[in-house]
Structure 1
Amino acid sequence: MMNQQFPEMGLEEKDCVETSWVETTLLWQDMDPKKTNLTELLNRKTYPAFGIFPFKVKSDYVKTSIPKLALEDLWKKANQTGDLVMQWSPYGGKMSQIPESDTPFPHRAGYKFKIQYWYYDSGTLVDLQKVYDFMAPYVSQSPREAFLNYRDLDIGTNRNGKDPNVFGAKYFKGNFERLRKVKTEFDPDNFFRNEQSIPPLSA
């Protein structure tokens, strides 16, 4: 299929490696799953991604094509911002055929791709915020949606009387109230909680 769709890549079967999901975590850190024991993931000194190098993550969803001029401006801003990584993940295919109400994850039909903004240097967060702000006209709106796995406390929390529906709508859209009902049934005292956990309706 790759040779039919992207022949210019010259991909061969020998270039492909089949791994389990957890083994792909090693690959993300440039570790060879065949030569590295999975227990290395528990060692913060040899697996530094979440220990030594602090980072901040934000995300966006794109539903309409971004104009070429806007993309050119984006590249300029990104090049002027230190320690910024952007990952654009295409959507579509099978996931678009699943109704958004079938699972908690709602971002399905109608989405072109997801953007992850990965900031490695907390000293440049002001400049990095400018990149995020620049993208506002070109991403989903009302609400500006986000991906749950890239937790971003900037978009709201459920602490100190703040409205959880703000971040809840961005992560779960119309599924949030249904998730709160499930939470209320199984954890009414809100024992399992964090800044962006789903609160019970009683909260």
Structure 2
Amino acid sequence: MRTTALLTLVASASLGFAGESPKAALIPAAVIPQTSSGCAECLKHSGLFLGAGVDYFFDAEEEYYNGRAGYEWAGKSGNYTQSLFLEVGWMDSDSDFGSLEAVPVTLNYEYKRALFKCLNFYVGAGAGVAFVDSEFQEYKDGKPTGVFNSDDDSVFVIQAFAGLTYCITESVELYGGVRYLWSDDIGQGDGFDDWSIGGGLRVKF
């Protein structure tokens, strides 16, 4: 009886000295859940990144595939970033009137800020040049002639975009949003002027 009481007193004193509850002391540190999340760190470090995505333009009714590479700077507060990146896109459109293939190359700036936990919002804009290969059928008296004229051109292009990102880890994120793309006149025709919705994946190194 005396031995049991002594052991109980020693165990209680040890737990009190460590400043831990008896329940916490019995759980190995390795299995105690960590409160920090990798996604919460995604705005806190700078680095190079690569990304790829696809958009859908409403008026053109065509997919727009794009890839990007750039550098992201983390803000001192850890809840926002700024980035510069080069984006290359590709779109191919065919109709009874002809075909058009466009490859826009733009330099872009993006500002991203924390919104809620792993969710962030972004906004940005860019400018560059679009390399266009077009082929259109000639018309005479309002009727197609069956003769196609081809033309290669390079035109000035600008874009603006905004949306949301979700950090899967501190270096991997999904993004989705809207884009407005405008170009100068293409050959003898009008320029590109359209809105799209899309998304993609980005990895930071």
The question of a shared fold, defined as TM-score above 0.5 by the shorter chain, is answered with no
Provide TM-score, normalisation by structure 1. 0.23
Greater C-alpha Rg? 2
Q: Answer 1 or 2: which has greater helix percent.
A: 1
